[in-house]
Amino acid sequence: MARVDATNSPAANEGSAFGVYVHWPFCLSKCPYCDFNSHVRHAAVDEARFRRAFATEIAATGARAPGRTVSSIFLGGGTPSLMQPATVAAILDAVGRAWTVSADVEVTLEANPTSVEATRFRGYRAAGVNRVSLGVQALDDGALKRLGRTHTAQEALAAVAIARQVFERYSFDLIYAREDQTTDAWAAELRRAIAEAAEHLSLYQLTIELETPFAALRAAGKLTVPDEDCARALYDLTQEICAGAGLPAYEVSNHARPGAECRHNLVYWRMHEYAGIGPGAHGRLDIDGARHATATEKRPEAWLMRVESLGHGLVTDETLTREEIADEFLLMGLRLAEGIDPRRYAGIAGRGLDPRRLATLNQEGAIEITPDGRLRVTPAGFPVLDAVVADLAA
């Protein structure tokens, strides 16, 4: 087991941050590409019961990891915009009872961009949410239909307009490398999206996840996604257009004006501590000198029963070894354009990165050392990030 102290703590050297992730596991319908822990229920969800269980699990986590100052809270899903504002308020109150909350805390809620959900935005704002992330996915009605979305492009843009009026900060997601998508069509769609975006956009390449309806369709020859070269061209175009519009990638799929990055996601990528609350949530906590990887029961009703009987929904609570923490540090940190501090890696791993591997990857143009000594993946290295990380971690 690795001892975590002030010098080798995974969270050392990059300022302090503590995030709280809360998972709402329900959606109105299941999108055929999605393998997130999200479930459709035909009977009404007992929100009051969930509210109590969230508060219980937050209090239990606060007792295990006391004294932190919360810098970000992320209500993710599923579709958290199906929650009543009172549920969101109750969650935020419980976080405030368990920990100190920073005066400039970032509180993000993921929302589906339907008109019904947009009517709740003011209630979320009153509850304390100050940032929304909308799943727009596409600005083309045919594509939205094929993605199984229940909103039109116009409805999504109307929700973006309401978000702009209600919240200080907002972002939205698009999925690209969709079936039959040409570079010209994507360039036009992306430019239109940028005109609607303020400070942040998440642009995900469509991934065909195992055991989703999209995986079955592809296996049956009924769904053709762009081949590697075409996907690469779409990726390159994305970087070029966004950088040109002042929204460079600060992470593989995330673009922001400098200073407007999602602080909560930076908690993950910079390996700070975070609490995972709700069904199927993951956490990383430093307790008694060890880094703990936690996970809760995934199935919503089983999670409820566990919290009601045990006071928490944890099903996994492992202390990570030095090697595991160091691998995770590379895997997460090299996703960021800012890269990692190799001294922090050495503090965690107890040894530095292999200079020969570094030299080879540098000669290949996949990595570089910045003037202030950080190690980062180059634009040419990002499309082969997994191989770069595997090489450095070997």
Q: Does 114 bind ligand SF4 (CB under 6 A)?
A: no
Q: Which of 32, 34, 298, 305 contacts ligand SAM by CB under 6 A?
A: 34
Q: Are 188 and 148 in contact (CB under 8 A)?
A: no
Q: Which of 165, 207, 316, 360 contacts ligand SAM by CB under 6 A?
A: 207
Q: Does 209 bind ligand SAM (CB under 6 A)?
A: yes
For 289, the 3-state DSSP assignment is coil
Q: Does 27 bind ligand SF4 (CB under 6 A)?
A: yes
Considering beta carbons, is residue 112 or 265 the nearer one to ligand SF4?
A: 112
Q: Which of 31, 65, 138, 267 contacts ligand SF4 by CB under 6 A?
A: 31
CB proximity list for 216: less than 8 A, separation 6 or greater? none
Considering beta carbons, is residue 150 or 319 the nearer one to ligand SAM?
A: 150
Element at 286 (helix H, strand E): strand 282-287
Q: Any idea which residue has 């609490």 for tokens?
A: 275
Q: Which of 10, 25, 78, 280 contacts ligand SF4 by CB under 6 A?
A: 78
Both tokens of 108, joined, read 């993000």
Of 239, 237, 206, the residue nearest 223 (C-alpha): 206
CA–CA distance, 49 with 39 (Å, rounded to integer): 17
**What number of residues does the chain have?**
394
The footprint of ligand SAM on residues 85-124 (CB under 6 A) is 110, 112
Considering beta carbons, is residue 160 or 206 the nearer one to ligand SAM?
A: 206
Q: Which of 71, 81, 87, 112 contacts ligand SF4 by CB under 6 A?
A: 112
Q: Specify the stretch interacting with ligand SF4 by CB under 6 A; choose among 29-37, 120-128, 285-293, 378-386.
A: 29-37
Going residue by residue from 33 to 72, which x/- string records binding to ligand SF4, judged by CB under 6 A? -x-x-x----------------------------------
CA–CA distance, 88 with 84 (Å, rounded to integer): 7
Q: Are 346 and 279 in contact (CB under 8 A)?
A: no
For 178, the 3-state DSSP assignment is coil
Residue nearest to ligand SAM (CB): 135
Of 123, 115, 155, 117, the residue nearest 139 (C-alpha): 155
Q: Does 308 bind ligand SAM (CB under 6 A)?
A: no
Number of C-alpha atoms within 13 angstroms, CB side, residue 336?
A: 20
How many other C-beta atoms lie within 10 A of the C-beta of residue 144?
Answer: 19
Q: Using DSSP bridges, classify how beta strands 18-24 and 69-77 pair: parallel, antiparallel or unpaired.
A: parallel
Q: Does 181 bind ligand SAM (CB under 6 A)?
A: no
Q: Which of 91, 118, 175, 330 contacts ligand SAM by CB under 6 A?
A: 175
Q: Are 156 and 150 in contact (CB under 8 A)?
A: no
Q: Are 341 and 13 in contact (CB under 8 A)?
A: yes
Residue 30: which of ligand SF4, ligand SAM, none does it interact with, CB under 5 to 8 A by kind? ligand SF4
CA–CA distance, 17 with 273 (Å, rounded to integer): 7
Considering beta carbons, is residue 211 or 228 the nearer one to ligand SF4?
A: 211
Considering beta carbons, is residue 34 or 295 the nearer one to ligand SF4?
A: 34
Q: Are 249 and 200 in contact (CB under 8 A)?
A: no
Compute the least distance from the CB of residue 265 to ligand SAM, in Å. Answer: 12
Q: Which of 14, 30, 32, 36 contacts ligand SAM by CB under 6 A?
A: 36
Q: Using DSSP bridges, classify how beta strands 200-205 and 69-77 pair: parallel, antiparallel or unpaired.
A: unpaired
Going residue by residue from 225 to 264, which x/- string records binding to ligand SAM, judged by CB under 6 A? ----------------------------------------
CA–CA distance, 233 with 182 (Å, rounded to integer): 10
The footprint of ligand SAM on residues 271-290 (CB under 6 A) is none
Considering beta carbons, is residue 35 or 354 the nearer one to ligand SF4?
A: 35
Both tokens of 383, joined, read 């499309």
Q: Does 77 bind ligand SF4 (CB under 6 A)?
A: yes
| Residues in touch with ligand SF4 (CB under 6 A) | 27, 30-31, 34, 36, 38, 77-79, 112, 135
| Residues in touch with ligand SAM (CB under 6 A) | 33-34, 36, 77, 79, 110, 112, 135, 137, 173, 175, 204, 206-207, 209
